[in-house]
A and B are shown apart, each in its own frame.
Chain A
């Protein structure tokens, strides 16, 4: 039912759409005017939990594992979530900071055959959800709204690009970025080895030196949305 090509019931509905909820059956504006609600950073509480270590202790090991798995399973599929809050009328992206200089988005690798959305929810809960056994429900209700990027790794090397380079027939990793709609309030538990920071968009913009190509291009990836600052 939803699809950009479907003629709408009436043209006026598209202007209403801009105020309306995002998931309306009236299709056309779904992509034309995508509305995302942002809540203030203060709505969210951040606790801590046990450290969550990366699977690979070092970079060479990481790529070696990638090679091995490539042979066995094929291309690695990764998902990452872009959690947005707002402050002072500007969207902020929640980033996990490892150490002092390294930033990453919450997410990780999908298991073989795992669905992307399910996998991302699983990973978000693992990373930021309440420790198992506790009652933190709100943070577990992740709403995966939109895919905002596809990045491909052509070789077993760090560079990733937002397109598949033509001379490589099989990318080694495919990373998908999703926009996650947060609940109005939530309690996050941040592993002790990470810091959770909220980076304003201008901090990321044009700053691939500091954040890498994916994160620094988030402002561009997000600029098409119509944000409502609740």
Chain B
């Protein structure tokens, strides 16, 4: 179901009408075409003006037409389904189509239409082979598994999966019923509940595809063009073979698989599996996401009560899920991601060929890894050999983990690493097109490196800072060319007030475990106290101080002296082994750091029972977050609510089921938000004063961040 609305594709004139029709009846088709090659019909999907194919109403209708013609044509004995786009078989259903539906019944109807069509394919007397190259996701995968045989290109673009759950949905075209039969119950649950993408070679091992085709290199055409042609040739061969019965669609299953299948056929084993999976889902979702539980229920219905019941429940649940606010939030995030991936700045004036990173810490090495990965020559500079070694090892480890997961060969790793230069001096900086500093968050250190760097870099070189709390203008004050100032830092600003509030809650006597439990119950993937440990107490202190200086009282709340005392005691968080919790290698259930008792006691403040219920605590954290996010939008730090939502969810772990601070403001209601803020303002003061933008939204209910 993952799909990009067709409007997001890049229009390419002249690419839209390449359908070669074999009969005049097909002339009017724009999404699906059909070639007859001997006794094999080749059906091609090609959504016009889009990089990917989506199962839209139009495409489905044309596909049904074409298949009916194939079934009626006596000269045709088998069929191959393939895409004209090398990077996409079918990327999923058309989200616009789903969102246009007003009611659950409408969505259920769509699901039932899809089910019927795919059932006809499954029961087709003429074998149908899916030739898969590129993304085969959601509805696309459901089409593929309804076919009798699957041939897939073994390249990185070819991924199979059921990402519906990530959009708060479930596979709604028979997928919940076919997948368990095809790959076994445990693997099917894993696919449907995680929504993860499966590469072609793994799909072959799982029995999800029957044959792989290796991508070809250059020949008399481009590799891409020839590879998809070859895929078609191979698929035609298998289609003929299936029709002639020289090829069997039956897969030889390994012993383990047969044992699993046998076990899963036993009702009590199945019940056990349902129970385990259900409790795992409950634990991970805290009941905040309805889709995973529905998926389990639908699969269960199909296996226990038969196909008809299974299909019916699937269609009904699909309809119900599509209208939930969780699904709308997740779809919004998905669209936002697509939106944010687009480069709104246009092509850079000068391509960055050489990048220098200052500081080989966690951030610096991380930047180096993602840069060197893109083939950019990267200079990683630190001041000490030990720190540099650690950073280089981090990059190696990052790449090597891909080797272990087989998404990269050891040779590719080595050849990528050959572009990384670890160094302690400024050698080669004269060729740098960009320098990113990721040194310690201390203005003096930043000023020092800025001066050193400006002495060696060429005039065109861009100096960028990975600052999290120090204002860029302040850093730039030491620059020879300080005019190059940029926008502020949204994520730190949202996080700051919330963390400050966490500290106040802790001071009010709520213990860290409780704080974590309350925040995860609201949907935060990481508990608020744990988050501070992860960020690092020293870093949090710096951030809090710097933001406090820049923005004043609004960033207050909890006592910064509490942090300072923690730093003094060496409770720096996870990296030091101690923070709010004690971290030990290999120990999973970490315990609360008893050394904190004394500190928390020292900074203890009285709690006002009016604003200290679990819900109030959640809302105190969240309203400060949302208020600051709105302020960033108001000040133009953010260019749109979409960016704010994406940054908050993917950068800070704002609950995905709420879709981000702005979508949350819409769904919770700006009026209600402001009421809460006022309530807390009365107790704590100006830290909770709602910003003007929120007030505006609150006073006119029709105003929404997301239309």
Q: Do A and B come from one complex?
A: no
